[in-house]
Structure 1
Amino acid sequence: MNSHALAELVFHLGRIASGEGLVEGLTAAQWAVLRYFAQANRFSRTPSAFAAFHATTQDTPSQTIKSLETQGNLTRTRSQDDRRSVQFVLTEKARCILTNDPFESLVRAAGSPHPSVQGHFASALQRMLGQVAQERGKPFGTCTSCQHLESDSCSSEEQVSYGCGFTSEPVRPEELDGVCINFIPGKIMALKRSSNAVALR
């Protein structure tokens, strides 16, 4: 199979999984917004970050976000760091809706190959995604493989703390796998665990 045919398969899978037609009364664009804000960390829950993640203009998602607000699926708050900036958080209603996400059909299909095949497939897709993101000038990723992630262990209580070198703010263990707009590719960190740490999703 040549590279063009492989890219077509990946693209077609994405289109199917994104949800064609109305599911739970939501359009494919609305599903995309809900999925993004569900996985984004607190530094990246903004319209501009969503636009960068999906490689669109900042004006593109504005109406979709407004409609989800009106439906009671998103709530907006002012950023604590920049009062001119707003952040969006999913409501409980939206989290319930996400349990019927059409994307889950792709999740089930991804789990069908043997685990050894899944590992190779995941590595290949990560490389593809990284190359495309670099060419477009804005890679996204999670804290665990970001150059900005810092950690410190307190041996007396065996507590582990994490911080973001870019924002100079602490990062909670449960946030480590959230998508971040400030991501810079780096070496994957071996996470230190403590009895108080929250397991990653």
Structure 2
Amino acid sequence: MVVFSVKPLFTIFVVSLTLLVVFTLLSPRYPFSQNWISGEPSLYASPFRFLFLFLALICQKDLNFETGGEVDIWSVRRLMEWRPCKWWLQGHQTALPLETNGYIRVDCYGGLNQMRRDFCDGVGIARLLKATLVLPKFEVASYWNETSGFADVYDLDYFIQQMNGFVKVVKTLPPDIATKEPVQVDCSKRKGQFDYVESVLPSLLKGKEN
């Protein structure tokens, strides 16, 4: 015997319509990006990503309630995803140079998400400038009263293994480089990848020669 529950379906419809209207009205910008004007819908409209995920979760919850199963949000198929940069893909990568252009270390501040974001920027910059990436320094002692380092938060060996062929990673600076005064770069003031090549790369090469 098959039993259809009409009430959950009606509830889903009402809640979905309400969320759609609320997100449309309260969103800081119209749910579709400017690309919508040219006839191409955006994949990055966060209200709609949340709406699809919410609907899938509600449907799964109602289904598992009837069957006595458990809700597993991570099994929901993602309807919209971020598009990866093409140059980041394996088939578009160029081989790393035999000689590095210098060493880059990222000083990470704030919470875990902000530190992760800063370090991801460092990986991209090191790849762009063909530099060697030094494991970051977590500036958390003054804010979190914490002394954890990169290896305490992430799987160090796995990270180095995954970066193999993409960015060269070292745990510490070579002794002859560690004694030199580093050049401080504020990433928030950089305007893009060409700014790094034109402004930061010369300083990196100069520090390598000195």
If the TM-score is normalised by the length of the shorter chain, which range does it land in?
Answer: under 0.3
Q: Which of the pair has the greater relative contact order for Cα pairs under 8 Å at 6+ separation?
A: 1
Specify the structure having the higher radius of gyration (Cα).
2
Q: Which has the higher strand share?
A: 1
Q: Which has the higher helix share?
A: 2
TM-score (norm 1): 0.23
